[in-house]
Structure 1
Amino acid sequence: MGVQYIGLEQVTGPLIALENVKDVGYEEVASIRLEDGTERIGRIVELAGDKAILQVFEGTKGLSLKNTRTSFTGKPLEMPLSKDILGRVFNGAGKPIDNLGYIYPEKYADINGKPLNPVSRTYPRNYIRTGISSIDCLMTLIRGQKLPIFSGSGLSHNKLAVQLVRQAQIADESGQEFAVVFGAMGVKNDVADYFRKSFEESGVLQNVAMFINLANDPIIERILTPRCALTAAEYLAYEKNMHILVILTDMTSYAEALREFSSSKGEIPGRKGYPGYLYSDLASLYERAGIVKGSTGSVTQIPILTMPNDDITHPVPDLTGYITEGQIVLDRNLDQTGIYPSVSVLPSLSRLMKDGIGEGYTRADHSAVANQLFACYAKVQEARSLAAVIGEEELSDTDRKYMEFGIQFEKHFINQGFDENRTIEQTLDLGWELLSLLPKSELERVDEKLLNEKYVEDAASRFAD
């Protein structure tokens, strides 16, 4: 057994300080034994000479300055991994909480991941079908991509997360497996129960590994949750050659836990009190998505974050947007009119979409449909702005047709049922029907041959109320 340190120098919030510590390293895990014999887990978060600062995962309540015994393991925090993690529910630190026993591991892995050589990355191709028209057509999710959802407090992002888990699947390819790793941070008990019940009732839980950190769990565990989830995803993708979709909600809760932890360490705050290293910390999570040479698997990320006061310039969505390859933005006005999912089309985009759609992936006309829908919906906003000034009666016939197109586009394309799972063919055909509400002369983003082939002459009758 290694050296045991008796007593503590200081206790501050979730942190403890030890002096005269030797031969230890940053991120090393420690076992902390209390006076009553119970044990807690801590890890080194700061070293200064022979002084070590440790964060205690279970909190510091009840720790004695004199009689607490600390011993170091010589290893960083690791979690047990095997394919049996699918169908299981874990807490934020990777320990099972579903009463199904421990995981019998094939290996243990550092939750911080391994540095990935950029040269070993493969450019993401092909797509993941979500069954949601607005995403599949206009901001297509590509395998190996990181595509966040920017939401607001009270919007239907939890409902959307459940639908994504239930419906997401890769294009049919023999011998390739698909699974979901779901990480929830700082959620209330009723929300956690909603996730679990939804996955169980829909029968997808057997292909989902869940990591749940509740709002009343320690903030330190909240910082570990996405790292445990991504470690599980990397193992399944790169060692078991599976295609893994990682959904993390809510990254704002994670960032707030990081801010609280940084404050307890006495670090100088940055914007809105967040630590100055928030960007690099978020990047250390988001950049764990991708495809690696030598493996046929992939890790695709959908981080979900709520924007305080719907402010897209808030540090968390702002920095996230710099790191990720696009974003899906939810709109409060659409949500209030009863449209689900309330995807705001114009500020949303997928930067990798162009290389994973089209012939051989989705359908040859996909790019043309998406471009034309974006262009037409942009003109809808112009017509609405004009109508707000001069009145709808004064609009030209073309502007009125754009107004009608906008109504039907939101009602039939963006809006779809929670249980409605559309194929990519259904989505693109619906897009053509909606575009056919406009005169051919207005569809300038589509070449004439394709337009004559796909244009629906009696489209207006299909959308008549």
Structure 2
Amino acid sequence: MSGPADIEYTGVRELRGPLVVVEGVSGVGWDEFATIGLDSGERRHGLVLEVDRDLAVVQVLEDTAGMDRSGTRVAFSGSPLRIPVGPGWLGRVCDGRGEPADGGPPVLGGAFAAVGGAPVNPVHREPPTEPVLTGVGAVDVLTTLVRGQKLPVFSAAGLPHLELAVQIAAQATCGGEPFAVVFAGMGLTHADAAFVRDGLAERSAARDLVLFLNTADDPVIERLLTPRLALTVAEDLAFTRGRHVLVVMTDMTAYSEALREVSAARGEIPARRAYPGYLYSDLASLYERCGRIRGRPGSVTVLPVLTMPAGDITHPVPDLTGYITEGQIVLSAEAYGAGTYPPVDPLASLSRLMRKGTGAGRTRADHPAVAAQLIAALARSRQVRELADLIGRQALSPTDLGHLDLEDAFRARFLAQDTRENRPLEEALDRAWEVLLTLPDSQLGMLPADLLAAHRHPRGEAPP
């Protein structure tokens, strides 16, 4: 991290929660990195949140516990927080500030990069066109993740979003090209942090994973820093080292609550649900650090995971996330209650860039048609189920009964998957065909006739 400057300020006016208000400063700028010295010899670190004439408000990364006004000295570095970048991060487990949590030495690098990142000119962005395969059939077939995309997972308390995030981080690949995963955990319990480390141990040992773990009892400011560190490391691995990088960030609701807490400590006027009015732009400053840059190798793909309080999709965090990102993967309490994992709701989920990254030469030629037909059939199945609740199953036509059977087959044959099962795309698409072929041809109008015939009679036998 950046070193301290020569001038140390001792005029601490106030200690307020995670904030230090320093007076008598000059030449200090917003987002500047600061080093805080205590009489005990301990050194802490902070970032400048606000400057007003000769006052600077500094958020302390390690919190202000144990500090007193008279024994505190603050030195400003003259530049934003910077961290070393390079391949040395691969295989490491760190806390939310980037300090080693695996017993190893501090991470070193040949260059430094500002954790705030650098805006990318939209003219220099390449459109996403290639898939990132996760080994989770429901995601790969129905909401395909594309390199350079930002695709969030919407969940609720009690649903296995962390298990899904770890499974995707452990299994994701991009067709044999250089690949890495950066996993940022925010506000995790110690049991969840141990689960993440265990689930990703193999990938970490292979040195294609970087792990940042911020636990619930860590300082709240650290939670705001964790995703920025992760994205800074990912950008270097992608655009300098030529890797395709998947950044998994969980839980963005914990991040947003930390932002709300700091905002309240600063005395800012709250907006909806007491979140700060700049929540949208703050989330966008993270989510938009993805993509591909023309003329540079590699890509950054972002998979944020967030929990919707009380399952409310209109809550500010999922609501604003939906505006910024390119679709969503929604987990269903109903499917999970029925014992299905992953409990993905296919009708509420969407990948807006899916058609850019699927089809011949990318996944499989029949992939777009199969996915579209399966979604359409499931939508009809849901309508039939609601109709059956009104008039009874015995009043349904044979075709309607077939749609009810399709919904059961979808969950049992296609959706259900073990938490450690890495399902190849070919197998997932074949399972989708199995489900669709439980319906008569008359109900599969979105599939080309020759394609349907080839799968209905794979050995060329004549139709009955």
Shorter-normalised TM-score: what interval?
Answer: over 0.9
Q: What are the Cα deviations for residues 99-135 of structure 1, in whole angstroms up to 9, with x where unaligned?
A: 1111221111110001111111000011011111111
State the match for 1:74 in structure 2.
78
State the match for 2:325 in structure 1.
324
State the match for 1:42 in structure 2.
46
| CA apart distance, 1:201 | 4.9
> Are 1:121 and 2:125 an aligned pair?
yes
What pairs up with 1:99-248 in 2 under 5 angstroms? Answer: 99-172=103-176, 176-201=177-202, 206-248=207-249
State the match for 1:461 in structure 2.
none
CA–CA distance in 2 between the matches of 1:21 and 1:402? 71
CA–CA distance in 2 between the matches of 1:139 and 1:64? 52
| CA apart distance, 1:7 | 3.4
CA–CA distance in 1 between the matches of 2:205 and 2:315? 35
Aligned 8 A contact 1:432 1:455 in 2: no
CA–CA distance in 1 between the matches of 2:7 and 2:167? 51
> What is the one-letter code of the residue matched to 2:93?
V
* Residue range with higher mean Cα deviation, 263-272 or 448-457: 448-457
* Residue range with higher mean Cα deviation, 233-242 or 70-79: 70-79
State the match for 2:409 in structure 1.
408
CA–CA distance in 1 between the matches of 2:201 and 2:428? 28
Aligned 8 A contact 1:16 1:53 in 2: yes
State the match for 2:21 in structure 1.
17
Change beyond 3 A, Cα 1:178–1:378: same
Aligned counterpart in structure 1 of residue 97 of structure 2, from 90, 93, 97: 93
State the match for 1:386 in structure 2.
387
What pairs up with 1:288-307 in 2 under 5 angstroms? Answer: 288-307=289-308
3-state SS of paired residue (1:341): coil
CA–CA distance in 1 between the matches of 2:45 and 2:204? 35
State the match for 2:462 in structure 1.
none
> What is the one-letter code of the residue matched to 1:167?
Q
> What is the one-letter code of the residue matched to 2:229?
C
3-state SS of paired residue (1:183): strand
CA–CA distance in 2 between the matches of 1:190 and 1:219? 19
> What is the one-letter code of the residue matched to 1:427?
A
| CA apart distance, 1:206 | 2.4
| CA apart distance, 1:456 | 5.3
* Residue range with higher mean Cα deviation, 415-424 or 304-313: 415-424
> What is the one-letter code of the residue matched to 2:69?
L
| CA apart distance, 1:19 | 1.3
Structure 2: give runs of 5+ residues left out of the alignment: 460-464
- TM-score, with length taken from structure 2: 0.96
CA–CA distance in 2 between the matches of 1:234 and 1:433? 41
> What is the one-letter code of the residue matched to 1:182?
F
Q: What are the Cα deviations for residues 249-308 of structure 1, in whole angstroms up to 9, with x where unaligned?
A: 000000000000001001111110000000000000000010011212000010000000
Change beyond 3 A, Cα 1:142–1:331: same
Aligned 8 A contact 1:113 1:231 in 2: yes
> What is the one-letter code of the residue matched to 2:138?
S
State the match for 1:59 in structure 2.
63
- TM-score, with length taken from structure 1: 0.96
State the match for 1:373 in structure 2.
374
Q: What are the Cα deviations for residues 369-419 of structure 1, in whole angstroms up to 9, with x where unaligned?
A: 001000000001001001111111111111100000100101111111122
Q: Percent of pairs identical after alignment?
A: 48
State the match for 1:462 in structure 2.
none
CA–CA distance in 1 between the matches of 2:389 and 2:318? 31
Q: What are the Cα deviations for residues 138-181 of structure 1, in whole angstroms up to 9, with x where unaligned?
A: 11000110010001111111111111112110023xxx310100
CA–CA distance in 2 between the matches of 1:161 and 1:42? 30
Aligned 8 A contact 1:401 1:438 in 2: yes
CA–CA distance in 2 between the matches of 1:230 and 1:417? 30
CA–CA distance in 2 between the matches of 1:34 and 1:56? 13
* Residue range with higher mean Cα deviation, 388-397 or 250-259: 388-397
> What is the one-letter code of the residue matched to 2:24?
N
Q: What are the Cα deviations for residues 31-72 of structure 1, in whole angstroms up to 9, with x where unaligned?
A: 111121211111110011111111111111222222311111
3-state SS of paired residue (2:64): coil
3-state SS of paired residue (1:449): helix
Q: What are the Cα deviations for residues 200-251 of structure 1, in whole angstroms up to 9, with x where unaligned?
A: 2566662110011110001100000000000000000000000000000000
CA–CA distance in 2 between the matches of 1:188 and 1:420? 25
State the match for 2:443 in structure 1.
442
> What is the one-letter code of the residue matched to 2:76?
F
Aligned 8 A contact 1:35 1:64 in 2: no
CA–CA distance in 1 between the matches of 2:259 and 2:113? 23
* Residue range with higher mean Cα deviation, 204-213 or 388-397: 204-213
Aligned 8 A contact 1:42 1:57 in 2: yes
Aligned 8 A contact 1:436 1:456 in 2: no
CA–CA distance in 2 between the matches of 1:334 and 1:57? 40
CA–CA distance in 2 between the matches of 1:437 and 1:219? 52
| CA apart distance, 1:443 | 0.5
Q: What are the Cα deviations for residues 419-454 of structure 1, in whole angstroms up to 9, with x where unaligned?
A: 222222111111111111000001011121221112
CA–CA distance in 2 between the matches of 1:456 and 1:184? 48
CA–CA distance in 2 between the matches of 1:421 and 1:31? 46
* Residue range with higher mean Cα deviation, 314-323 or 98-107: 98-107
* Residue range with higher mean Cα deviation, 392-401 or 95-104: 95-104
State the match for 1:419 in structure 2.
420
| CA apart distance, 1:199 | 1.5
> Are 1:84 and 2:82 an aligned pair?
no
* Residue range with higher mean Cα deviation, 198-207 or 19-28: 198-207
State the match for 1:463 in structure 2.
none
CA–CA distance in 2 between the matches of 1:382 and 1:164? 31
3-state SS of paired residue (2:50): strand
Change beyond 3 A, Cα 1:207–1:430: same
Aligned 8 A contact 1:82 1:103 in 2: no
Aligned 8 A contact 1:7 1:64 in 2: no
